[in-house]
């Protein structure tokens, strides 16, 4: 009896090879030149990867697959040697095709993807194919980006890798503190430090790719999806060293504040779908003045046409991130102390204190109380509004204290507008 799953997996392997082969074939500028592989070769390599994996399954060993991989590598080596012998310069030196190594590596990856398809990992294979297509197609952009990097940029990358990949995994992931106040988690605190540094790092990469203006705005949007507080801290600190871009930093910060409300709303309805309607007005209405003011800042910046410096300083500043991580921990500790010692009757005060540091923690807490303890929806809404009010005030203070002087005046209207709408909503629900 035929097993159509076999044909489906083989077809997936063939399709992967065909797609990568078409991309490689399209990049060959001289069709008469020799290359390690074209569309037909890639298609056969993908099929070979799936078939050797199938044979390994049938034989109960990895010998067919490993043998196929070794043979593939030897064929590629022979192809390179043949190409080098046939293409020599006038002084007798051999040359190598500019695309040869990349194409050969792609051949080996397609072979592995063929095997991955045979084992039913089709989603993973598709994701790898998409990444491969981007890497292979963005040759000029990637080379241009690499040329723009300085030694300081590489050093910043190494530092970020150290604090995130080498330090974070070894920190204890447990709660410490006095009885009832076990909220000091070294892993979580350092994760927040990594998060703040990471926002600056990603923003700097975007700035290198698309330019300072657009890069800062994109950073604001992405930062708002993650943590508008961390984003505000990072961009405000960066503005002191890059004051020419203070208007762009202000716009990025305001955009992150708007996105924060949308993210918070989505989190809340994900945790409890019944809150979709009650939270629609309280959490999405403040987005309107934030976006309106961001549009005003954008139009104003377009009219000014100010000359900006071409230089943009490196993003890695660990000490400010550590300082804010400590402040964040202190605020969270005080908020939890208020909740423990003042009781549930001080819900709004606790929410206000907690919101000064992080909105998500407040949202998780009050929704959990709503689901398990029967907290009224009206009280839940008020708690979130008080938290968002404190959060906006805190971020405004961060900008005024840590940001460049030229950011203070334009950020105040954003704080006033959002706080006025939030205060109006509090008055409505009270």
Q: Are 80 and 103 in contact (CB under 8 A)?
A: no
Q: What are the beta bridge partners of residue 94?
A: 88
Per-residue confidence (pLDDT) for residue 204, from 0 to 100? 65
C-alpha dist (Å) from residue 194 to 140, 168, 187, 332: 31, 8, 10, 18
Residue-wise pLDDT tens digits, 172-207: 888 777 776 676 778 877 877 777 667 666 666 666
Residue-wise pLDDT tens digits, 139-181: 777 777 777 676 766 777 777 777 777 787 888 888 777 776 6
End-to-end CA distance of the chain: 71
Distance of CA 87 to the CA centre of its chain: 45
Which of 307, 351, 311, 308 is closest to 331 using CA atoms?
Answer: 351
Nearest-angstrom CA–CA distance, 236 and 405: 10
Q: For residue 306, what pLDDT band results from cuts at 50, 70 and 90?
A: low
Distance of CA 303 to the CA centre of its chain: 32
Distance of CA 47 to the CA centre of its chain: 35
Backbone φ and ψ for 343, nearest 5 degrees, come out as 85, 175
Per-residue confidence (pLDDT) for residue 188, from 0 to 100? 75
Cβ neighbourhood burial of 125 (10 Å; 0-12, 13-18, 19+): buried
DSSP code, position 373? S
Q: Are 366 and 348 in contact (CB under 8 A)?
A: no
Token pair listed for 110: 């397609």
Cβ contacts of 365 within 8 Å, gap of 6 or more: 354
Domain ranges, ordered by start, for the chain: 4-137, 146-429
């Amino acid at each position: 009896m035929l097993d159509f799953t076999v044909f489906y997996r083989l077809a997936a392997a063939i399709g992967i090879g065909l797609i990568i082969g078409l991309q490689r074939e399209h990049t060959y500028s001289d069709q008469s030149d020799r290359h390690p592989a074209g569309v037909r070769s890639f298609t056969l390599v993908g099929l070979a990867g799936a078939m050797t994996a199938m044979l390994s399954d049938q034989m109960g060993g990895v010998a067919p697959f490993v043998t196929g991989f070794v043979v593939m590598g030897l064929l590629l080596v022979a192809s390179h040697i043949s190409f080098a012998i046939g293409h020599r310069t006038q002084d007798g030196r051999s040359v190598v095709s500019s695309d040869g190594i990349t194409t050969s590596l792609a051949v080996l990856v397609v072979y592995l993807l063929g095997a991955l398809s045979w084992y039913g990992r089709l989603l993973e294979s598709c994701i790898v194919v998409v990444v491969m297509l981007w890497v292979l197609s963005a040759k000029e952009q990637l080379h241009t980006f690499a040329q723009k990097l300085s030694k300081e940029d590489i050093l910043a990358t190494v530092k970020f890798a150290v604090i995130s990949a080498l330090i974070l995994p070894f920190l204890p992931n447990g709660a410490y503190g006095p009885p009832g106040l076990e909220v000091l988690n070294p892993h979580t605190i350092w994760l927040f430090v990594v998060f703040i540094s990471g926002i600056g790092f990603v923003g700097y990469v975007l700035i290198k790719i698309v330019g300072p203006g657009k890069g800062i705005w994109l950073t604001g949007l992405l930062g708002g999806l993650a943590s508008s507080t961390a984003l505000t801290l990072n961009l405000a600190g960066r503005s002191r060293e890059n004051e020419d871009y203070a208007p762009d930093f202000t716009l990025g910060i305001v955009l992150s504040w708007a996105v924060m409300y949308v993210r918070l709303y989505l989190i809340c309805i994900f945790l409890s779908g019944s809150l979709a309607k009650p939270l629609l007005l309280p959490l999405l209405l403040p987005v309107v003045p934030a976006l309106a003011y961001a549009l005003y800042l954008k139009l104003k910046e377009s009219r000014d046409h100010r000359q900006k410096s071409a230089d943009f300083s490196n993003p890695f500043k660990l000490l400010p991130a550590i300082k804010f991580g400590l402040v964040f921990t202190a605020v969270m500790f005080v908020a939890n102390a208020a909740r423990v010692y003042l009781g549930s009757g001080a819900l709004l005060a606790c929410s206000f204190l907690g919101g000064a540091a992080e909105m998500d923690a407040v949202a998780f807490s009050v929704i959990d109380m709503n689901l398990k303890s029967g907290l009224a929806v009206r009280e839940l809404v008020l708690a979130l509004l008080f938290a968002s009010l404190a959060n906006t005030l805190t971020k405004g203070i961060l900008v005024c204290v840590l940001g460049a002087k030229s950011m203070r005046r334009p950020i105040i209207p954003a704080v006033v507008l959002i706080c006025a709408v939030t205060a109006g909503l509090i008055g409505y629900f009270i």
